[in-house]
Amino acid sequence: MTFTFDRNAMISEIAIAQEVISTKSALSILSNILFIAQNNTLTVKATDIKVNFETKIPVDIQEEGSTTIFCDKFIGILSSMPEGEVEFKLDQKDNQTIAVIRHTTKKIKFQLKCMSQDKFPEFPEAEKVPFFEVPSKELKSMIAQTSFAVSEDETRYFMNGVFFEKKDDNLNLVATDGRRLAFASKAVLGGVQDFPAAIVHPKVLNVVAKHASDEGNISVAIVDKMIFFKFSNYELSSTLIDGQFPNYSRVIPEKQLYSFQVQKSELVDALKRTSLMVDKKAGRIYMKVTPGVLTVTSQESDLGDANEEMPCEYAGEETTIAMNYLYIEEPLKEIKSERITFEFSEAMRAVTIRPEPAEDYFHIVMPMQMA
């Protein structure tokens, strides 16, 4: 097996494979990437068992073949080399398969031990799977609005992913950890046949969101407890999370009595300053809203506290709500509007955070006990 390739092009592809791989231990086949060199195309595969990644790279093949190689070390070798063409060649040394990696114009050579591809996991085939198209920019936006809100509590595994469902012509994405909920819905499924609702690992969604172009479509399929994505020269698949996703519609308030609006940039800066004095374990801040003024205050601690006022649009009674500052800060990073609306009914009931004017996504946060 011998082929040559452009160093920069290879690094950009292998970097995605490295995101998928879960272990940096050289002893595990799951820390390796699979190379298949055939017909002047190098197929690269990587997996952590839950998420599978495949890409095809044009290379100049002198001898076809296949092997697996330790991903972390391989990308480290390439990163250390100057730009230009690199040769990858398999050799035998002491009954061990070795990859000889040379720069074609510099006197640089590395030898890296390989592992047989026999134990590399098989990927599910996507050739006869019924794909549907979703505009790439829309899906990326929906992932950004929801994936950060999944639960990290593995005992509640059914909330460890983003819920995908088709409602009429709308694709809905929902994530919750039991204390907050993120919802996004876009009418992008016109003419698409119904598919089963699914709970999707955020890891595969974040790879899609990071590497798909804003232009064109992403092909998606949900079938046999798997989800498949195709875009550019990439194919990703992932097992779905088994279990019953909570009935999220019960959490969404039908009507809220009060609302106030603030400038997003002012609130982001106030949270950044106020959080300097917040007990990070509790994360509690207080938001006191009075006509025309929002006051953000950290919970008093042994170190002290912080307090900041900003103008807001509000005409109701004085109300103070205790919130985890991260549950405000994280949605604000994804909301693109210049103004933000907070909707509520009373201090201990759900608060809705949404862009102003309203769009096709929102965030719901449960307040904390006043302390």
Please state, in angstroms and as integers, the Cα–Cα distance from residue 194 to each residue in 166, 221, 229, following that order.
Answer: 7, 11, 17
**Per this entry, what is the length of the chain?**
371
The pair of three-digit structure tokens given for residue 86, joined into one six-digit string: 């690199």
Q: Is the pLDDT of residue 370 over 90?
A: no
User: What digits encode the pLDDT tens for the residues 18-69?
Assistant: 999 976 666 689 999 999 999 999 999 999 999 999 999 999 999 999 999 9
**pTM to 2 decimal places:** 0.92
327-357: buried (b, 16+ CB within 10 Å) or exposed (e) per residue? Answer: bbbbbeebbeeebbbbbbeeeeebbbbbbbe
Q: How far is CA 272 from CA 108, 221, 322, 371, in A?
A: 48, 40, 17, 21
- Residues 336-347 pLDDT 10s: 999 999 999 998
Q: Is residue 214 scored above 70 in pLDDT?
A: yes
According to the model, what pLDDT value does residue 206 have?
95
302: how many CB neighbours lie within 10 A of its CB? Answer: 5
Mean per-residue pLDDT over the chain, rounded? 94
Q: Residue 26's pLDDT is what?
A: 66
Gap between the Cα atoms of 340 and 262, Å rounded: 6
Instruction: Assess contact for 212 and 235: CB atoms under 8 A.
Output: no
Q: What b-and-e string marks burial along 6-18, b requiring 16 or more CB atoms within 10 Å of the CB?
A: bbeebbebbebbb
φ, ψ dihedrals at 48, nearest 5°? -120, 20
